[in-house]
Structure 1
Amino acid sequence: MDWIAGRVMLLSGWRRAALAMAAGLLAVLALPPFSLFAAPFLSFPILVWLIDGVPADPARGLLRRYLPAMWTGWCFGFGYLLGGLWWLGNALLVEADTFAWALPLAIFGLPAVLAFYYGLAVVLARLLWSEGWGRIAALAGAFGVAEWARASLLTGFPWNAIGYAAMPLPMAMQSVSLVGLMGMNVAAVFVFSAPALLGTRRGALPGLCVAIALLCLHLGFGAWRLAQPAAAPLDPPMTLRVVQPVIDQAKKLDDAARAEVFETHLALTAALPAPGQRRPDLIVWPETAVPFILTENPDALARIAEVLQDGQVLVTGAVRAEDAGSGLPPRYYNSMIMIDHQGQIIGGADKVHLVPFGEYLPLEGLISALGLHAIAAEMPGGFSPAAARMTMTLPGGRVLYPLICYEAIFPAEIGDSALSASALLNLTNDAWFGDTPGPYQHFLQARLRAVETGVPMLRAANSGISALIDPFGRVEKGLNLGVAGFFDAELPPRAAPLVPPSGQARNGLIFLVISLAVAAFSRLSFVFREN
């Protein structure tokens, strides 16, 4: 592999940029729906060799010294993010007359902006670059910092963090319950990059040994955790029904079709269970399933009461309106609403983390003056965020921990308080994105929240993928993308996590610090040898 590494290092100009982008695109194949675990083992060694070839002339000015590293990382990140996020443009086609002009911004603009995180990661790695396996640790630590920043700054957007590429199957998911997503980001980049050592032969043995050990521990721990005896089932048992209506997003926005949309959900709710199965105690509808304001439509609540049987509870996604007072327009919330068999609203929770440009407009005064509104919220001002995350308690005392739509991709927002819940409840509407990789990627990320907390997840998606996910990320029952219907299932018990989410974040930070410390030590050793 020496000659391949040498050829890659010597590339310049457009060839270097094109190969960096291609390597980023290749890494996308590790994500759903492809889940080709081997892809990053090819793409990250290419990135390492490209960084090896970045000029390191200390006589250059600061900008000229690190701009090549920034450019290499940005090209890699642009390829990765373009290949992983292009499907976002599909949401703009639902109301193409209004939003089609923004397609280039969604498809190319967002990846171009987010790619700067990876550009800065390569700059940081280049500062700590050395010979041998220390440079692999530098890249791993730098990507850990970049992924943390991407998840935290400017409201955060950790979609397709590199660590997800190392967790395609339940056996490969369990390590996240120890070190969190940050630790998985660091470990994944280190292991994926290790084959680069075969191409340069510098520090190959210790670096490959560490990478193989990490991989074996990762899979071995997963196999051990999945082999543990199952917890005792819930007593009394709880039967649930998840409804997946598969309603086209354009139809949901059509005023004339609102009654039909509502009745579709009711018909699936009223369907008899399979022979021998208990009737559901809890029925779950997807995000914004109710196409009007429930509190302003008593007839809708009456229809729900007609369909629900004694003791049954419905949790549905809906828009909630709240009087702002003083002659101000009402506030609107993307909410979950809990309704009993008498048609009474007995609980609810509002979305905390809203989607910029999807549910609200940053710089609203400026952008709304152009006649634009948030893509998924046509009301003036878009949605308002909840002040705090609230749980919902069912009549029997069991607690649901609500996560609306892409809130499920933020592990940092799911604290230790989730450990006392009976289930995580994720309502979403991925119909905006059609039959693209987006819903599959979203589903994987949601599954990891169950693994991190040891709490099963109920996931209701308008067009899919809906599922009951056990505390280890395994799908107990579900409906694939585009399949209309419902499923009934028994809620499984929790599995106490070995480390709570706060501890996982701490352990991930330790992983990050160790990686950067190894890189710094290696860099200092390299400098002393050179001098």
Structure 2
Amino acid sequence: MMVLADRVALARGWRRAFIALVAGAIGALAMPPFGVFPALALSLTPAVWLLDGTWKSPSRAGALKEAAFIGWLWGFGYFVAGLWWLGAAFLVEADQFAWALPFGVFGLPAGLAFFPAFGFALARLLWTPDSWRVITFTLGLTISEWLRGHVFTGFPWNNPGMALGQNLWLMQTASLVGLYGLTFLAVAMASAFAVIGTGKTARERWTAPAFALVALAAMVVFGALRVPDGPVATIDKVRLRLMQPNLPQDAKFNPANREAIMRRYLSISSADHDGRPPTHIVWPESAFPFLLHRDPASLAQIGALVGRNALLITGAARMDQPLPGEQVGKFFNAIQVIDGRGSILSSYDKVHLVPFGEYVPKFFDALIRAVGLRQFVHIPGGFEPSATRATLTVPGLPAVAATICYEAIFPGEVLPEGPRPDLILNVTNDAWFGQTPGPYQHFAQARLRALEEGLPLIRAANTGISAIVDPYGRVVASLPLGTEGVLDSDLPAAILAPVSAQYGRFVLTATLVICLMASIARHRRRVSPI
């Protein structure tokens, strides 16, 4: 082990680059749907050794540049291996977007890799020759991951904390520390094994890994004790039906097929399963290739489906009335609630839009249009974001925190201001990404939001994964990816807000500040040029 650590630390040129790239790619195996947590240790252990090797740089500035480059290479490997499935979206309309596929598969990872580059450089700035460098490394990578989740609208997809956010018992710790707290723990435990190959004594080699294993065991015990033996209580007089049409995101999904699409939705949704009629039917995001609120015939068909005793909750694009002098109004990606008369009772407009998917950021607008591109959705000018995140009112249901598509991946941002809702609703359309890891990763992140907030999750997805998740993150019922059908279920009740929902940001900030101060103090006392 010590020989291997030395060889990695002393690697230069293409060998160093190759090790960093491969190490990053291995880390992606810890993400859904694979969930191989030891892969994160195999990924971060050589990353620590590579940073050890920067001590030969003739200057501190040179060492920081080397560390940043190592971090960029590691991040590029990690994001390409974990996000390659984004390329599937460019093949839906291949005649228009296939040529740009490399920009999605490699361009986005290249940009995201600057975040771990910053994290590695920050860690190297405070590097020490002892086991504490594991904490310093964890500090740098956790801060960079927090930045990735917030800068430029944020993109916290495949955060390293998700390596611990898939197993039911391990993920319970998120109820205390949230996703970024899981990231701190995951990086610390995974990188602790680096000292086995660098410690000068047996105590130095095994103390950190022992702490990591004890912490992992403690998480398992906490999770086992926290998850109740039986199901949680359910909401009276609520019976849910989630419709998963498994409609491909291709030429079939266009206005010319509106009648066929409606027949398909109505047929699937009206199937009788257990003899208990639903009170609330849920359809996925942007379910229609037309403006539902301007189509009386379709609204009438929906009204006939739900009758007097039920409601439909569906994703649907909507358009405001155009302003004077304008030909078209503003478009919104929305959720609408429809009753038995075909009337729209309430609506929620998406706040956090997908850059380049639902709109083109103004900074890139001229460049994108110069090369003949547009956002993926066929909406003139793209969608407009809602100014505020509002509670969705649905008769017969508790207050709803509505999220559309990837709004559910942002920890601490799924609930509206004001009184705490009693459930999270997520409607999405992952048909863009086919049978790839993408939909599994999306579902895993939405599931963790339920646990962090102590709220049940209702998730309706076009191609899957549709599910009902209880406040402990347990999947009550689900429909697998790539299948057509309906899912009938009762609605689990919410539990008291967990620590993460109330104090998660304070816990994370306090932890990072303490570790930063300790790292600065230890760095000033260091006795080695490493």
State TM-score, norm by structure 1.
0.95
Residue matched to 1:93: 91
Structure 2 residue matching 1:173: 3-state secondary structure: helix
Shift of 1:163: 0.5
* 2:336 aligned with 1:337: yes
Identity %: 43
How big is each residue's C-alpha offset from its partner over 1:374-415, in whole Å with a ceiling of 9 and x where there is no partner? 112x22210000011111122235222111000000013124
CA contact (8 A) 1:467 1:475 kept: yes
Residue matched to 1:138: 136
Residue matched to 2:238: 238
Say how many residue pairs are matched.
524
Return the alpha-carbon distance in structure 2 between the equivalents of residues 371 and 11 of structure 1: 44
Residue matched to 1:214: 215
CA contact (8 A) 1:237 1:491 kept: no
Shift of 1:523: 1.6
CA RMSD of aligned residues (A): 1.9
Return the alpha-carbon distance in structure 1 between the equivalents of residues 20 and 305 of structure 2: 57
Moved more, 164-173 or 85-94: 164-173
Residue matched to 1:123: 121
Shift of 1:61: 6.8
Residue matched to 1:327: 325
Return the alpha-carbon distance in structure 1 between the equivalents of residues 28 and 529 of structure 2: 38
In structure 2, the CA distance between the partners of 1:416 and 1:134, relative to structure 1 (3 Å rule), is: farther
Residue matched to 1:295: 293
How big is each residue's C-alpha offset from its partner over 1:191-215, in whole Å with a ceiling of 9 and x where there is no partner? 0001111111153344234323322
How big is each residue's C-alpha offset from its partner over 1:222-241, in whole Å with a ceiling of 9 and x where there is no partner? 1111136754432x231100
How big is each residue's C-alpha offset from its partner over 1:312-371, in whole Å with a ceiling of 9 and x where there is no partner? 010000000002412223100000000011111001101000011000011334533544
Q: 1:307 aligns with which of 305, 308, 322?
A: 305
Residue matched to 2:161: 163
CA contact (8 A) 2:401 2:415 kept: no
Structure 1 residue matching 2:290: 3-state secondary structure: coil
Moved more, 224-233 or 358-367: 224-233
Shift of 1:136: 0.2
CA contact (8 A) 1:128 1:138 kept: yes
Structure 2 residue matching 1:238: 3-state secondary structure: strand
In structure 2, the CA distance between the partners of 1:416 and 1:270, relative to structure 1 (3 Å rule), is: closer
Structure 1 residue matching 2:55: 3-state secondary structure: coil
Shift of 1:56: 4.8
Return the alpha-carbon distance in structure 2 between the equivalents of residues 396 and 469 of structure 1: 19
Residue matched to 2:495: 495
Return the alpha-carbon distance in structure 1 between the equivalents of residues 401 and 415 of structure 2: 11
Residue matched to 2:481: 481
Structure 1 residue matching 2:336: 3-state secondary structure: strand
Structure 2 residue matching 1:387: 3-state secondary structure: coil
In structure 2, the CA distance between the partners of 1:230 and 1:106, relative to structure 1 (3 Å rule), is: same
Return the alpha-carbon distance in structure 2 between the equivalents of residues 254 and 165 of structure 1: 38
- 1:336-415 residue pairs with structure 2 within 5 A? 336-363=335-362, 364-376=365-377, 378-396=378-396, 398-415=398-415
Return the alpha-carbon distance in structure 2 between the equivalents of residues 397 and 35 of structure 1: 34
CA contact (8 A) 1:419 1:453 kept: no
Return the alpha-carbon distance in structure 1 between the equivalents of residues 171 and 418 of structure 2: 19
- 1:188-203 residue pairs with structure 2 within 5 A? 188-202=186-200, 203=204
State TM-score, norm by structure 2.
0.95
- Unpaired runs of 5+ residues, structure 2, are none
In structure 2, the CA distance between the partners of 1:187 and 1:518, relative to structure 1 (3 Å rule), is: farther
Structure 2 residue matching 1:392: 3-state secondary structure: coil
* 2:316 aligned with 1:318: yes
CA contact (8 A) 1:33 1:437 kept: yes
- 1:49-88 residue pairs with structure 2 within 5 A? 49-57=49-57, 59-60=58-59, 62=61, 64-88=62-86
Return the alpha-carbon distance in structure 1 between the equivalents of residues 325 and 253 of structure 2: 28
How big is each residue's C-alpha offset from its partner over 1:455-477, in whole Å with a ceiling of 9 and x where there is no partner? 00010000001000111111110
CA contact (8 A) 2:55 2:529 kept: no
Residue matched to 1:150: 148
Residue matched to 1:255: 255
Moved more, 133-142 or 36-45: 36-45
